[in-house]
């Protein structure tokens, strides 16, 4: 593989075999035909920039798959904003880490800010932005596929590099994506929505539990905010 002798060249991992078998039974297209691939560039920063943006890293993808507000904040000058806008994240985009931590996928939520004034979100250079094309698979369907554990393991077999692992753009473009039936796509969308609702309920319960713990002994007496 890229002139590097690898056992994967002669023995396919079980995940790759399982995925290949699944794809052989499905109608498929290459990823480049399903999405617009946008590679984030280094934006630099300005200490006194007038615009603020939030740059996502793999740690900003929640356990339930939605991208949360990125922790990294950068300020940019007006001249830098043109390049930044080209890699602005839009609701429904899928981000996929293709460098370093391979295979982390996240879906940009509907409430993500998109205007310059609100401070839009962008993606760090470890990600590739996958923007679904009109009339094709939706962001939710694409996320459900790419976030599947078997698919993640298969993606990792594409990575190369001795120091920092990365997936070559040509391999990513050719990665096959199944096209579900209309019924399967609708079921995937509904399942994803229900899962998010359950995650929200779990988070609310956990917040109540933590509030009860900190309001009783010794949490009440050792609450730093009140000391």
Res 131: pLDDT? 98
Query: Which residue matches tokens 């590097």?
Result: 4
By CB atoms closer than 10 A (0-12, 13-18, 19+), residue 14 is exposed
Instruction: Return the higher-pLDDT residue of 13 and 224.
Output: 13
What pTM did the predictor assign? Answer: 0.88
pLDDT in tens, 50-93: 899 999 999 999 999 999 999 999 889 888 888 899 999 999 99
DSSP string, 37-52: EE--------TT-SEE
**Calpha distance 74→56 (Å, rounded):** 11
**Calpha distance 184→27 (Å, rounded):** 13
Residue-level length of the chain: 227
SS3 129: strand
Sequence-ordered alpha helix ranges (H) in 43-181? 78-85, 139-146, 149-156, 169-174
pLDDT in tens, 6-34: 665 567 788 889 999 999 999 999 999 99
């Amino acid at each position: 593989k890229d002139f590097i002798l690898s056992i994967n060249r002669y023995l396919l991992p079980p995940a790759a075999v399982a995925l290949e078998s699944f794809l052989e039974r499905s109608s498929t297209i290459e990823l480049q035909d399903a999405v617009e691939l946008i590679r984030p560039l280094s934006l630099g920063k300005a200490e006194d920039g007038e615009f603020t943006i939030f740059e996502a890293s793999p740690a900003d993808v929640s356990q339930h798959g939605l991208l949360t507000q990125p922790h990294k904040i950068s300020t940019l000058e007006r001249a830098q904003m043109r390049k930044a806008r080209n890699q602005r994240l839009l609701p429904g985009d899928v981000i996929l880490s293709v460098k370093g931590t391979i295979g982390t996928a996240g879906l940009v939520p509907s409430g993500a800010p998109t205007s310059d004034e609100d401070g839009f979100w962008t993606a760090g250079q470890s990600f590739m932005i996958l923007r679904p094309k009109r009339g094709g698979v939706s962001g939710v369907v694409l996320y459900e596929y790419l976030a599947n554990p078997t698919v993640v393991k298969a993606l990792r077999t594409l990575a190369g590099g001795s120091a920092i692992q990365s997936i070559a753009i040509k391999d990513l473009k050719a990665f096959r994506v199944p096209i579900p039936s209309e019924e399967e796509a609708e079921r995937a969308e509904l399942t994803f929505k229900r899962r998010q609702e359950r995650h929200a309920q779990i988070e609310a319960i956990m917040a109540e539990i933590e509030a009860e713990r900190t309001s009783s002994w010794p949490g009440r007496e050792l609450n730093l905010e009140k000391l």
